[in-house]
């Protein structure tokens, strides 16, 4: 389908959607003149699962492609979360550190975030309910979405990953020893993406969200949460730009393996 036609379909879906009644706990607004941004990704999730933990892109370069997103660092040194142009590194001590331009990433997903969906959530929701709710407010699950939720969370279960030394073990091995952090009654921000099912192997299908506390001191990759109230924002895009590493372990990694089960355990 040509892109114009796709976009018209989207607008139509959006229009229909805006005219549908929603629950008392949600309100949705959409900007029909919205220009979709490009989601920019370094490497593939399967390469990360296979232990390709070093990349050649610096954060200085990555910032040119977005002010919002998630990822990791060379040697798998923690979880990255970015929003409002601020990038943070949550190391295995659970502490959030500012990211320096010279740091490099083997896997990251970013975009310039300009949300067109704004939904107030005034009803308590666990992670599954939150995902279901998102599904009910977004016009199609076949686009890429950047998703941000600012709110008060009764509970957050997050993890980070410890810095690895060579030879690098696969991510499934690292995940067995990943530190897990729990937060109770905390204000903060979830930032990340929803990728369609067909993106499997390239990115994490479904939701992939990282968390940062409001004081920007702690966070991690989300495993579970319970939102009490908050504001949900999302932006769709149908423009996906992926850049692969040009040298190193990526060239030799076996990316033909079906990692569906592993990706589900490790990243979703």
Binding site for Zn ion (CB under 5 A): 221
62 touches 265 (CB < 8 A): no
140 touches 10 (CB < 8 A): yes
What minimum distance in Å lies between the beta carbon of 15 and Zn ion?
Answer: 34
Residue nearest to Zn ion (CB): 221
Q: Which is nearer to Zn ion, 34 or 91 (CB)?
A: 91
What minimum distance in Å lies between the beta carbon of 232 and Zn ion?
Answer: 19
Q: Which is nearer to Zn ion, 104 or 210 (CB)?
A: 210
Nearest to 59 by CA among 93, 91, 86: 86
Q: Which is nearer to Zn ion, 221 or 236 (CB)?
A: 221
Cα separation of the two ends of the chain: 30
Q: Which is nearer to Zn ion, 79 or 235 (CB)?
A: 79
What minimum distance in Å lies between the beta carbon of 212 and Zn ion?
Answer: 12
What minimum distance in Å lies between the beta carbon of 129 and Zn ion?
Answer: 21
Q: Which is nearer to Zn ion, 235 or 267 (CB)?
A: 267
What minimum distance in Å lies between the beta carbon of 82 and Zn ion?
Answer: 12
191 touches 68 (CB < 8 A): yes
């Amino acid at each position: 389908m040509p892109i114009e036609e796709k976009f018209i379909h989207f607008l139509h879906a959006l229009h229909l959607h805006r005219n549908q009644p929603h629950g008392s706990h949600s309100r949705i607004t959409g900007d029909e003149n919205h220009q979709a941004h490009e989601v920019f990704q370094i490497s593939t999730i399967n390469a990360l699962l296979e232990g390709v933990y070093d990349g050649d892109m610096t954060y200085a370069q990555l910032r040119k492609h977005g002010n919002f997103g998630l990822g990791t660092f060379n040697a798998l040194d923690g979880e990255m979360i970015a929003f409002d142009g601020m990038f943070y590194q949550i190391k295995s001590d659970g502490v959030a550190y500012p990211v320096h331009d010279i740091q490099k990433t083997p896997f990251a997903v970013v975009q310039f975030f300009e949300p067109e969906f704004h939904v107030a959530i005034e009803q308590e929701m666990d992670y599954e309910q939150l995902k279901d709710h998102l599904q009910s407010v977004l016009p199609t699950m076949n686009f890429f979405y950047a998703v941000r939720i600012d709110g008060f969370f009764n509970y957050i279960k997050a993890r980070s990953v410890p810095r690895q030394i060579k030879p690098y073990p696969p991510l499934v091995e690292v995940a067995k020893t990943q530190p897990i952090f729990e937060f109770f009654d905390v204000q903060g921000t979830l930032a990340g993406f929803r990728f369609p099912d067909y993106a499997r192997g390239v990115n994490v299908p479904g939701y992939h969200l990282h968390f940062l506390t409001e004081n920007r001191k702690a966070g991690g990759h989300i495993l579970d949460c319970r939102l009490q109230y908050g504001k949900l924002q999302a932006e769709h895009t149908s423009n996906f730009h992926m850049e692969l590493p040009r040298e190193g372990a990526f060239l030799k990694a076996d990316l033909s393996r079906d990692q569906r089960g592993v990706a589900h355990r490790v990243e979703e």
